[in-house]
Amino acid sequence: MTLTKDDLHGLFTAIVTPFTAEGAVDYDAVKALVKRQLAAGATGIVPIGGTGEYPALSRGERAGVVSACVEAAEGAPVLPGVLSTGYEDALEAGRDFLAAGAAGLMLVTPYYAVGPQEGMRAYFARYRDTVDLPLMAYEIPRRTNAALSPETYARLAEDGTIIGMKYSNYDVPGFIATLREAGDRLAVLSGEEPLFATHVALGAKGGVLASASLYPEYWIKVFDLARNGDLAGALAMQHRIDPVLTAIYRETNPGPLKALMKMAGQDMGPVRLPLTAPSAETMAMLTAVLGHIGQSEAA
């Protein structure tokens, strides 16, 4: 069954990529992590985005991670990230992920060589015509220096190029404008934990969240409160996890997140260069927040 915008709702966990102590991909740990997320109530899995260290993986490793996720998901949607800078590399990855059984792809806005709105629209459209998988656009301008306008998203939704988007952007007026222009034709998912409850209250259908790798149940509760009209309750829960977010995003994701997961008994291994283990100061913050909101509280 082909994925549609109506399938993009609730929590899609942006999972870390587990490595062994020697730095190899731990495919058994990938499968275990996926199963835990789905058992907790996640709707689907988004592997090998930024949280999954896409740039640090080889082509074969990326395809292997997607294959492991699809096997463990047992029919739940897997939408791997495609974070390549160039069209041909992105095309190669998309074809690999299609062969591995992905239900769709999360394609980042073109970056480094940033084109005009029409050029970026054409990039997505040509990609969708070439790789026969539903697309979720990934907007994260603080990393890419590129953002699509609400009007461009409306055009991409209108012609069926994309079925959804991950909005990793603190521009709330832009978020509202995107919902106004295209919210009836695509599923807008929040990619910002600090704004997650607000995004859902404004009309987001769910979220693609990295910290859900450790706290899926917690974020599902926040989502349920927000979508059922209890924004105050959702914000209260979200504020309780703010110290965790401050700690895990103090340095480049997913280094601190992996360190916190290890403290919580879920060892996902190290990160790959150029990322390094968190600093002593960040480790101290992580130790403090693990006690602030432990797994038992998040479950």
Query: Which whole-number Å values give the CA distances from 225 to 41, 156, 235, 279, in the listed order?
Result: 15, 31, 9, 35
pLDDT at 22 over 70: yes
Query: Which contacts (CB < 8 Å, 24+ apart) does range 252-255 have?
Result: 253/50, 253/51, 253/210, 254/16, 254/50, 254/51, 254/52, 254/53, 254/210, 254/213
Say if residues 5 and 254 touch (Cβ distance below 8 Å): no
Three-state DSSP at 220 gives helix
Q: What is the pLDDT of residues 214-269, one digit of tens each?
A: 999 999 999 999 999 999 999 999 999 999 999 999 999 999 999 999 999 999 99
The angle subtended at Cα 90 by Cα 86 and Cα 96, nearest 5°, is 155
Q: What is the pLDDT of residues 146-158, one digit of tens each?
A: 999 999 999 999 9
Query: Which whole-number Å values give the CA distances from 3 to 74, 124, 129, in the listed order?
Result: 15, 17, 16
Catalytic pick among 27, 127, 138, 167:
138
208 is annotated as contributing to ligand binding? yes
289 is annotated as contributing to ligand binding? no
Q: Distance from CA of residue 175 to its chain's centroid? A: 17
pLDDT score of 293:
64
Q: Which two tokens stand for residue 242?
A: 């703010």
- DSSP-assigned letter for residue 137: E
pLDDT score of 1:
76
Q: Note if 112 is an active site residue.
A: no
Catalytic pick among 166, 167, 205, 215:
166
Domains of the chain, each with CATH number or no CATH = 5-230 (3.20.20.70)
Q: Note if 27 is an active site residue.
A: no
Q: What is the pLDDT of residues 169-179, one digit of tens each?
A: 999 999 999 99
pLDDT score of 298:
45
Q: Which residue has the tokens 């997913």?
A: 254
Secondary structure E strands in the chain: 10-14, 44-46, 81-82, 105-108, 135-139, 164-167, 187-190, 206-209
**Measured between alpha carbons, how far is 137 from 278 in angstroms, rounded to an integer?**
30
